[in-house]
Amino acid sequence: MLTNNAPIYNYMPSEGIEKIHDTTMRVLEEFGIAFNHDEAVDILERAGCQVDRDAIPAPLVKFPREVVMEQIAHAPREFTMYARNPANNVTIGGDHMVLAPVYGPPNVQDLDKGRREATLEDYGNFIKLAQTAPDIRNAGGVVCEPNDQPQETRHLDMMHALLTLSDKTFMGNVVSGENANDCVELAAIVFGGREKLAQTPAMLSLINVNSPRLFDTRMLDSLFTYARARQPLLITPFILAGAMSPVALGGSLVQQNAEALAGIALTQLISPGAPVVYGSFLSNSDMQSGSPAFGTPESAAALLVSAQLARKYNLPFRGGGGLTSSKAPDGQAMWEATMTLWPTFLAGTNFVLHAAGWLESGLASSYEKFVMDIELCRMMQVFRGGIALDAEGLALDAFEEIGPGGYFFGAAHTMRHFRDAFYRPLLADVQNYVRWEQKGSETADVRANRVWKKWLREYEQPPLDPGILEALNEYIVKRKIEIQV
Amino acid sequence: MLTNNAPIYNYMPSEGIEKIHDTTMRVLEEFGIAFNHDEAVDILERAGCQVDRDAIPAPLVKFPREVVMEQIAHAPREFTMYARNPANNVTIGGDHMVLAPVYGPPNVQDLDKGRREATLEDYGNFIKLAQTAPDIRNAGGVVCEPNDQPQETRHLDMMHALLTLSDKTFMGNVVSGENANDCVELAAIVFGGREKLAQTPAMLSLINVNSPRLFDTRMLDSLFTYARARQPLLITPFILAGAMSPVALGGSLVQQNAEALAGIALTQLISPGAPVVYGSFLSNSDMQSGSPAFGTPESAAALLVSAQLARKYNLPFRGGGGLTSSKAPDGQAMWEATMTLWPTFLAGTNFVLHAAGWLESGLASSYEKFVMDIELCRMMQVFRGGIALDAEGLALDAFEEIGPGGYFFGAAHTMRHFRDAFYRPLLADVQNYVRWEQKGSETADVRANRVWKKWLREYEQPPLDPGILEALNEYIVKRKIEIQV
C-alpha cells in the first residue's frame, strides 16, 4: 500500500484554516443545510438541531456547532477495507493513499472507435484494467455507465462485474436505497453474510451533496442503507464554484466544509463510529461560458486546503484525481490531469477517485488516458518516496572511482543500483528524434492505446468459489425479475 | 513581477539538508573540483585551496570548507537586473520569480513545417514571442541556435536581435571569453558604457559545469569576463544522474552542490559581491537506454532539495522549467512539463530558464509548446497567489441570497466578481464535446499554433534610439570583419 514519506504541503496557514472553520460553523448555525428526507430530519432534530420542516425546497436543518463537532468526533481516523483477496485489503486514512478509477461517465472513448455511449462490455473492460493495474487499489464503481442495460437493473450487472472480474475493494451504487440494499446483499453473499460484512467493510459509496446545501432523497436513502450496513461512505459536496457555490474560493471552501460535516454528522447519528470519508470535489466554472473547468489553479489550491480541513477534523480525505476538461487525450488532458494530481499527492489524499481514465469533464472514460494517468500516479508515488541519504544514497565510493569529467555508467555503484535506481516509464518515450520518427512518430496516446490492449489481453480473472458465483447469479436473476415486473 | 504567497514546499527535512551540506564539504575537501584555467587555479590557491596542477584532465582544486563558506557569503541574496525599458527591470532572489524561455536547442519545431534546423529568423521569432508574453521577464539567450549564420559570429547576430527586438533583460553568450566580451561591449553601447553597465546589470549568463567536477576553459573565460563586468552569472552543474553523477539522488545533489558552490566561490574571489545564482539542472538518465529523461519524479524531488540548499546559503536559485523528453507537443510533453513546473513553483525558484518552448530533451524549441508552457506558468502564478479570506472572499452575502439547491450565477456577489474571479485560460478548451467537434476537434497543439502566430502578428518592436542602433550595427560590422579575416 502506498504511504507517504515526502511531507504534506500545507497551502494555507493555520489561521486561515481556523477562519474557514469558524465561518463554516456560522453557516451551519445561521443558514443551515436542507435534507429532503424525513427520517434524517427527525434524527437531526433529536440530536439538538433546529428544524424548519416547511422550508423550500426541503426541510432546513440548523446545526449548533457543538452537535456537529461532537458527532464527527465519533468517526474513525482510519479504517480497513476488506477485499475478497486479502492481499488487496486497504487502509483508508492516516498516511495511506488508495487510488480508484474514474467514476460516472456515460461515454467511453478510445483511438480506434472514437467516442460512443458506454456499454456493459466497456464497463467490464475498465474493471479488468483496474484489476490489472497494481497501482489501482479500489476497482471503482461506475467506471462508466453500461447504457446498453436497462436503467432499473444495471446496478446488478455492475455489481456482478465488480464481484467476479476483480478481487479488489470496490464501490456501491447510490441511485436509490433499493439499489444500495441490493449491493449490500450481493456483497454479503461474497463476504459471508451481512453481519460478517458489517465487520469487514468491502465497499465504499459516494454520497454527493446536491450543492448548495441540499441532500436529496435518493442519496440519503443510500446513505442510510450503507451506514447501517457499516459500509464506508464518501460524503462529497459537488461544487463548481460560481455555479453551485460563490465565485470565490474562500466561500466555496466554507460551503463545502459545512455540507461535508453535516453529512458526516448524520452518518454518525445513524451509526456511531461508522467509517466515513471527508470528500471534496471542488473545481470552478469557466465564467465566460458557464462550463465546468478542471485542472485549474483554483481547484489545485482548494484541494490542498480541503485536505487541511479534513486533517483538522481527524477524518480520512477524498479529493483530486486526473481531472480535465479536454475532449481528447492530448496536451491539455495531461497538463490538467497533472495540475490535479500534484496537489492530490501533496495533500496526502487518502482516497483518490478518478485517479485514472477521466476525460471530457467526466463525460467520457478514456481507455488511453487510463494508462496515461497510471504513468502519472506511478511517478507521483516515486516522488512521495523521498531521497535516501544512507551510504549507498550518497555514493561517496562512486566519487572515489569516477574523476572529474568522467562517466558514471560503468562505476561499481552504478552496477549495483542501475536496475532500480530510477523510475522506469510505462509510456514516456526518451528515444532520440530519428529513432522515434523511424518507429512511426507515435504520440503518447498512440503508445497508450497499445498498453491498454496488452493489459486486457493479459488480464486474468481472479478465482471465485462456484457456490458463491451461483448464489450471486441467483440473486441477480431473481431481482431482475422482481424489478422488471 | 511575480512574488510568492503560497508557502515554499520543503521536501527534505532540515537534517537531510545538513547531511547533504556536510557531505558536500567532504567532497570539496577530499575529492576537489578541476578547473581547466590557470588564472582560476592561481586565484583559488591564493585563497587557501590546495592545488594539484598535474592532475588529469585538469588542475584539481581542494577547497577547505571555510574558504568556500567565506566566499559564498559575499554573494548578494538578491539583486536587480536592469532592462532598457525600466518597466521591465526585475529582481532576482528573495520571493521573486523571473521566467525565461528555452535555451540551447539547435532545432525548432512547429505544426506547419515540422522539425528543422533553427535559423536566425526562428531566433528572432522566439525573441519576439518572449517580448510579447508578459509572463516572460527575461528575453533569454540561445532561444535556438541560428544555424544559418557562421558559428564564429552568430553571437553578434543574437545580441543584435536581443537588443533590438526586445526591451527586457536578457542573457549573454558563453561560447568563449571573446564572445562574452562582445556581449559586454554591445550591452555597454545600449546601457551607457561599461561603467554604467556594471552598476546596472542587464544580462545574466549561464555557466555550465562540465559535470562531474570539471569547469572547462571556455566557460571559465566567460565567467571571468562577466564577473569582472559585474554581470550576473548562473553557475549550473549539468547533471543527468547515472551518467554525469552517481545513479542516486543523494550523491547527485552532493555533487551538484559541490560544483555550484565551487563556481560561486570563484566568482566572489574574482569580483567580491558580484551577482550570482545557484543553478540546478539535475535530471536522471533512463538507465535502460542511457538517454536523458526529463519530467521525472527524481528530477522533481531533486529540484525541491536544490532550492532548499540555495536558501540555506542565502543565494538566489535557478532550476526547473517546462522540461520534457517528448518529440511532439503531446500528452507526454505536457505531463512532463507540468511535472517539472510544479516543483519549480513550489520551490519558489528565482530564475526559471526553459520556462517556455522546450521540447525533445532540449534539442528543439517548439513554437506550440512555447504557448502551452505559458498557459502552465500563468496557472502556477495564480496558484501561488493564495486564497482571499476577507469578506468578499468568504461571500457570506451570497449564502444569504442563494438558498439550498440554488444557482450562484445570478448572485450579486457573482456579478461583482465574475470577471476576475478565476483564471481565464489561454488554450484550455472547456466547451462540450459536440461544440468542440463542430469546431474541428482541435487538440491543444493546434490551438497553440494559432496563438503563437497571433502573437507574432501582434508583436510590436520596442523603440530604440537611432544613434544607439547605429553604434550597435557599427560594432557588429567591425567585429564580423575582424573575426572572419
| pLDDT of B53 higher than 70 | yes
Which helix (H) or strand (E) segment holds residue A475: the answer is helix A466-484
Residue of B nearest to A330 (CA): B331
Q: Which three cell numbers stand for residue A386?
A: 523521498
Map B121-178 to HEC letters: HHHHHHHHHHHHCCCECECCCCCCCCCCCCCCCHHHHHHHHHHHHCCCEEECCCCCHH
Query: Are B164 and B469 in contact, with CB atoms under 8 Å apart?
Result: yes
Residue with cell 514571442: B129
Q: How much is the pLDDT for B84? A: 97
Tell me the C-alpha distance between A103 and A100, whole Å.
Answer: 9
Tell me the C-alpha distance between A245 and B396, whole Å.
Answer: 11
A328 touches B at CB < 8 Å: yes
| pLDDT of B466 higher than 60 | yes
- Euclidean distance between the first and the last CA atom of chain A, given in angstroms as a whole number: 45
Asked whether the bond before B232 is cis by omega within 30 degrees of 0, the reply is no
Residue of B nearest to A297 (CA): B383
Residues 176-205 of B with CB under 8 A from A: none
Query: Are A120 and A144 in contact, with CB atoms under 8 Å apart?
Result: no
Instruction: Name the percent of chain A lying above pLDDT 70.
Output: 99
Asked whether the bond before A134 is cis by omega within 30 degrees of 0, the reply is no
Q: Which three cell numbers stand for residue A143?
A: 467506471
As a whole number, mean pLDDT of residues A63-67 equals 98
| pLDDT of A116 higher than 90 | yes
Residue of A nearest to B253 (CA): A394
As a whole number, mean pLDDT of residues B2-13 equals 83
User: Which residues are CB-contacts of A388 (< 8 A; sequence separation ≥ 6)?
Assistant: B248, B249, B250
Q: How much is the pLDDT for A1? A: 46
Q: How long is chain A?
A: 485
> % helix / strand / coil in chain A, to the nearest 5?
45, 15, 35
Tell me how far the alpha carbon of residue B363 is from its chain's centroid: 16
Please write the tens of the pLDDT for every residue from A250-307: 999 999 999 999 999 999 999 999 999 999 999 999 999 999 999 999 999 999 999 9
Virtual torsion, Cα B46, B47, B52, B53, nearest 10 deg: -50
Tell me the C-alpha distance between A57 and A79, whole Å.
Answer: 36
Give the CA radius of gyration of chain A: 23
Q: How much is the pLDDT for A485? A: 76
Of A263 and A4, the structure prediction assigns the larger pLDDT to A263
**Strand, helix or coil at B463?**
coil
Neighbour count for residue A407 (Cβ, 10 Å): 13
Tell me the C-alpha distance between A302 and A427, whole Å.
Answer: 30
Tell me the C-alpha distance between B243 and B259, whole Å.
Answer: 16
Q: How much is the pLDDT for A5? A: 83
Q: How much is the pLDDT for B376? A: 98
Tell me the C-alpha distance between B101 and A306, whole Å.
Answer: 34
Give the distance from residue B17's alpha carbon to the nearest chain A alpha carbon, in angstroms: 10
Q: How much is the pLDDT for B247? A: 97
| pLDDT of A2 higher than 60 | no
What's chain B's average pLDDT? 97
Q: How much is the pLDDT for B293? A: 98
Please write the tens of the pLDDT for every residue from A312-361: 999 999 999 999 999 999 999 999 999 999 999 999 999 999 999 999 99
User: Which residues are CB-contacts of A10 (< 8 A; sequence separation ≥ 6)?
Assistant: A304, A308, B7
Q: Which three cell numbers stand for residue B173?
A: 553568450
| pLDDT of B108 higher than 50 | yes
Cα–Cα distances (Å) from B169 to B100, B164, B191, B202, B462, in that order, read 10, 12, 12, 6, 13
Q: How much is the pLDDT for B208? A: 98
| pLDDT of B440 higher than 70 | yes
Please write the tens of the pLDDT for every residue from B339-394: 999 999 999 999 999 999 999 999 999 999 999 999 999 999 999 999 999 999 99
What's chain A's average pLDDT? 97
| pLDDT of A33 higher than 70 | yes
Q: How much is the pLDDT for B1? A: 45
Residue of B nearest to A379 (CA): B297
Q: How much is the pLDDT for B485? A: 77
Residues 44-73 of A with CB under 8 A from B: 55-58, 60
| pLDDT of A3 higher than 60 | no
| pLDDT of A232 higher than 70 | yes
Give me the total of CB pairs closer than 8 Å, taking one residue from chain A and one from chain B.
409
User: Which residues are CB-contacts of A299 (< 8 A; sequence separation ≥ 6)?
Assistant: A282, A283, A284, A293, A323, A339, A340
Please give the angle made by the CA atoms of B204, B207 and B213, to the nearest 5 degrees. Answer: 155
| Cβ contacts of B420-423, under 8 Å, gap ≥ 24 | B421/A241, B421/A242, B421/A247, B421/A248, B421/A284, B421/A287, B422/A241, B422/A242, B422/A247, B422/A284, B422/A285, B422/A286, B422/A287, B422/A293, B422/A296, B422/A298, B423/A296, B423/A297, B423/A298, B423/B378, B423/B379, B423/B382
**Beta strand spans in A330-438 (E):** 351-356, 358-359, 364-366
Task: Give the β-pairing of B358-359 and B364-366.
Answer: antiparallel
**Strand, helix or coil at A360?**
helix
Is the pTM higher than 0.95? yes
Q: How much is the pLDDT for B189? A: 98
A238 touches B at CB < 8 Å: no
For an interface test with B, which of A330, A344, A365, A407 has the most B Cβ atoms less than 10 Å from its Cβ? Answer: A330
Please write the tens of the pLDDT for every residue from B219-250: 999 999 999 999 999 999 999 999 999 999 99
For an interface test with B, which of A334, A376, A413, A424 has the most B Cβ atoms less than 10 Å from its Cβ? Answer: A334
Please write the tens of the pLDDT for every residue from B141-163: 999 999 999 999 999 999 999 99
pLDDT band at A206 (very low <50, low <70, confident <90, very high): very high
Tell me the C-alpha distance between B239 and B359, whole Å.
Answer: 18
A6 touches B at CB < 8 Å: yes
Would residue A94 be called left, alpha or beta, if left means φ above 0 and alpha means ψ between -120 and 50 degrees? left
Tell me the C-alpha distance between A235 and A233, whole Å.
Answer: 6
Residues 127-156 of B with CB under 8 A from A: none
Closest CA to B354 of B328, B373, B372, B327: B373
